[in-house]
Structure formats: structure tokens, C-alpha cells
Amino acid sequence: MVKKIIILLILFVSTTACWYIGKTSEYGLPRRKIRPLPENTDYSKIDTMALYKLDSYYFYNSLEKKINDFTKKENDSYPYISYLKFYSKGKLGLFVISKQDTLNLQRCFFNPQKAKMGYYYIEGNKIKTKILTIGNATLHISRKKGFIYNDSIDIRHHNFYGNIFIKRNVPKELLEGWEPDW
């Protein structure tokens, strides 16, 4: 009897320990209180009524001080495109939308409950982001730094690769009236 209880306990722990079972949005994305970045940011550098679309990614070779393998995201076989939406008070949403749906963007795609929650902080032309994601079936806070260049954002990862997001103006009706749920 004790062996059965131990086996059941091990099975229960092994099946639940590797899955995030905390608070989620209506669409199943994690919503957990994380410490936001400082709110005294320079909002004039970011357009909160625009989207920033992932345009390309690269690998930075630190030995040669140059960028290698600069690739357009549209040519990639990955079936989704990422969009960043910046909100007031330092809140950031990461939307992942299928490439097919990007041909005809709709208001329902940008419901903040469908976004990965995050925060951002801007100082000068530098930007810091924190985005809550689920990786390897566990909750993870992705911390990245980057630079703002006019209408583009270069977000660099810790291991020398990065993403370039380009500002895309969309009709205000797609974005106005939404408030993040975090």
C-alpha cells in the first residue's frame, strides 16, 4: 500500500512539476506579478500607438566585432511573426501572430490578454525589457537590452544574437482602447 502511494505521488509530482499552473489570462498566457522596471522612462522615444514588427535577426561575432548571418524574418520557415506593443506606465506586450494573419491585421489580434506580458524602460537611446514567457514548460522572465534607432529597435540577447523590430503604423482603431491586464 505504501509503495502504491509513493508511486502515485511520484507520478503526480512528475506530471505537474514541469508545467506552469499559475495565474493566466483568458487565453492561457501567464500572468504573474513581477517587479516592473523603473517607471521614470522617456516615453517620447517610443510610439505607443504603433506596432514594432520583428523584421530580422542576427548573430554578433564579438571577436571580429561584426554582425553575421543577418536574415530577414519573412524568409524564415517559422510560421509566426512577433510584434511588440508598448503601453504607458512601462508595460509591454509581445504578440505572436501567424504569418498568414499578418496579411490582414484585425483588432482582435491585439487584445492584451493575448500578449505575453512585459515591462520596458528607456534611458537615452537604450531600452531594457522584461517579458514573462513559458520556456521548457516552466515560467521564465526574459531580460534583454537594446538600442532605439529612429523607427527601429535592436534588442540584443545575452548570448550575442539579436532581433531588429521596425515600427509599423497601423490604423488607430486596431490599438486604441486596450489596457493591459497586468
Per-chain mean pLDDT for the chain: 82
Q: Using the 8-state DSSP alphabet, how is residue 174 labeled?
A: H
pLDDT in tens, 28-71: 777 777 777 777 667 788 898 999 999 988 887 766 666 665 56
Q: Using the 8-state DSSP alphabet, how is residue 170 labeled?
A: -
Burial of 117 (0-12, 13-18, 19+ CB in 10 A): buried
Confidence of residue 15 (pLDDT cuts 50, 70, 90): low
Distance CA 37, CA 120 (A): 6
| Model confidence, pTM | 0.79
Distance CA 129, CA 92 (A): 8
